[in-house]
């Protein structure tokens, strides 16, 4: 089953990567350059936010949570 939108996105991605000879460092540099240009034009560029690893509760926190049960 072919999806026209997916095929179009893959085609664009292939052309874009080929433009930089599939070099991820060059692709990344180009994307950062485009972000900087957008910021200069007044746009907000939101980066990917990674989730912080959860900290293990301390012994005191464990005791408090055990008492609340």
**Which tops the pLDDT comparison, 23 or 67?**
23
Is the confidence at residue 69, as pLDDT, over 60? no
H-type alpha helices, 1-69:
4-19, 24-40, 59-67
Residues 42-60 pLDDT 10s: 999 887 666 666 777 777 7
pLDDT confidence band for 13 (50 / 70 / 90): very high
- 38 CB-side CA count, 13 A: 10
Residues 30-44 pLDDT 10s: 999 999 999 999 999
Contacts of 60 (CB under 8 A, 6+ apart): none
């Amino acid at each position: 089953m072919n999806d026209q939108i997916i095929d179009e996105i893959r085609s664009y991605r292939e052309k874009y990567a080929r433009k930089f000879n599939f070099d991820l460092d060059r692709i990344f540099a180009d994307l950062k350059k485009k972000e900087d240009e957008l910021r200069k034009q007044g746009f907000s560029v939101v980066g990917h936010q990674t989730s912080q690893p959860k900290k293990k509760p301390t012994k005191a926190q464990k005791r408090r949570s055990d008492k609340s049960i």
